[in-house]
Chain A
Amino acid sequence: MAIGPRPPDIFLALDNDVLNNWRTNNTTIVSAIDNYVAITKAPPALTSITVFELMHGFENAIVQTGMNARLQRDFDHARELTRECTILPFNQEAAEIAAYIFPRLTRKEKKDHWADTLIAATVIAHEYGIATLNRSDFEMLATHVPTQYPPLRIEVWK
């Protein structure tokens, strides 16, 4: 009886690495998205930070090599993709969670995981989980989540 409604604790946002593997037709990610869509009838969410990373990639390419028609078309498709996905905003609650986590990281962790911190804070604030390739990074961040919040739900799509 798989077609009925599903519990609320199943919604996921994609980490940047999973999103990129999806875009480049990685079969594991495609299959995981198939399963996710079968359950939720919608694509996984993106955090506003992930959208920043996605858009930054195109803007960075434009700065480096200039705009061309192919780049423009794929950039437009990327915007279309973000319109289809639920975007989780980096809101007040996410900001407070990130502010709690960030000073508790080492200098190296700050450098390597500043974006992951903002992503983790955003998904916790919206009570989503994160689909990522890198469990250890998010597990490390999860240890610093304030105790009044539910644990960070991590799904590894590898």
Chain B
Amino acid sequence: MLNVNLSEITYQPALPIHILTPLNVPTSLVVPDPLRLPVPAELVSKPQSLPRLERVRDSALTIEVPALNVQLSSAISDISTKNGYQEVVFESVVDRNVHAYLTLHSERSNGTGNDLQIKNASLTFRVANHKARTHFITDTLYAMLGLGGPVNLAIPNINVNLTLNFAIATQEISNFLQLRQLEFGLLVIEKACGLEFDIPPHISGEEINSTTFAYHAIVENQFEWRVNEITQPTPATEEMLFWFDSLKPIDQNSSVYKLMFGPSPATRLILGKHVSLGQETILLDDAVIENSETVRRELAKKDGHIVPIKIRPRSRKGRYVFANTPRLPDDAWDETMGTFIAVDELLNKALANRYHELAFSTVAELTHNEIETVTTRPELSEEAHLLRD
């Protein structure tokens, strides 16, 4: 938490301001098609016979990811079969709007008998709506499948026990985790502000930026954020001229000031909804007033015309301090959400390990001398730099 010493700050007159948002907003995110293709899996455990399905009623589908310390169990709600049981699909409800479909592909064990052997499997999750919770859980599930290593899928009542490796590309997992992170931010805003968002198929960089900002306002109350420029439309009056002339630079002979804007009501537009964040104060530690001589000349006319004062923090950062901000309730999350939140650290580590393995593999087979060669920076000859200083 940042400590703000208000006594150091030069107060601003209470005027509306325009803040220039970051030039580079975050990259937009594409939400995967909810009717996505099943994730194919390689069967790691021994092939097993497809059991009789009569006893499947009242049974559960268990998904266990040992590497992530996760075990989920949900009642099987439906079964469908194709091609004389060669394809069996078990449907279960993981969360109220997240359905899991486990498809078992079987073949006759010796090509002729009646005994069907499970040869491979696939799993897909489908969402029944586009709420933040539904997508957060689904994206977490896909990330878990991709990063969890061997996954145990079981239907205990009929003795189906399969160990499977799911193949999901690292870039896709990274995208799931980025979406999940944003969806968690939306969930926090929902819980704190009593709202409910619909997740669109495409989330723009501006929406990501607004969501992130609102999330930090609610969770942290004080934080640093990008401020490229603040424009303060100021009337040319005696009062404003006095204010301008009274500004004290942080060092003698410098034209850098500590300035404060607000408090003023703060709202952000997030996925089509106005989110009220309470009172917002912006503190600049290293503000520079552009064209200060011209600004003073205009203010000195004292004719009431509006002088746009452009203020730019040298660091391009400001400290935002919020008051009366909506709060996240202490009991915001139920047990299911708790499970999916708790897995965050292990998912992060598993993703990082994928990148580490790839980075290490770029020199894994090389000798010491070869590593020396491949990691040496290119050098230009002496003559290449014969440029006049």
Contacts and interface: CB of A to CB of B under 8 A. Distances in A.
B215 interface: yes
Interface in B215-231: 215-216, 219, 223-226, 228
Interface range on chain A (Cβ under 8 Å from partner): 35 or more
A110 B381 CA distance: 12
Interface string A16-42: 100110111100001001100110111
Contacts of A5: 181-182, 184-185, 208, 211-212, 215
A14 to B, nearest CB: 10
Contacts of A78: 362
Given A9-B317, A60-B378, A106-B389, A23 B360 contact: yes
B184 A38 contact: no
B28 interface: no
B264 to A, nearest CB: 21
B316 interface: yes
B155 to A, nearest CB: 31
Interface stretch (B19-27, B49-57, B97-105, B295-303): B19-27
A115 B366 contact: no
A57 B174 contact: no
A71 interface: yes
B356 A33 contact: yes
A84 interface: yes
Contacts of A54: 362
Contacts of A8: 22, 24-26, 209, 212, 226
Interface of A: 1-9, 16, 19-20, 22-25, 30, 33-34, 37-38, 40-43, 52-54, 56-58, 60-61, 64-65, 70-71, 73-74, 77-78, 80-81, 84, 103, 106-107, 110-111, 114-115, 126-127, 150-151
28 contacts: A3-B184, A4-B181, A4-B185, A4-B219, A5-B215, A6-B212, A7-B223, A9-B22, A16-B377, A23-B360, A23-B362, A25-B356, A34-B352, A38-B348, A38-B352, A40-B178, A41-B348, A42-B178, A71-B366, A74-B365, A81-B358, A84-B170, A84-B355, A107-B385, A114-B385, A126-B24, A150-B228, A150-B316
Given A4-B185, A71-B365, A84-B170, 9 more contacts: A5-B181, A8-B212, A70-B366, A71-B370, A84-B358, A107-B389, A115-B377, A115-B378, A150-B228
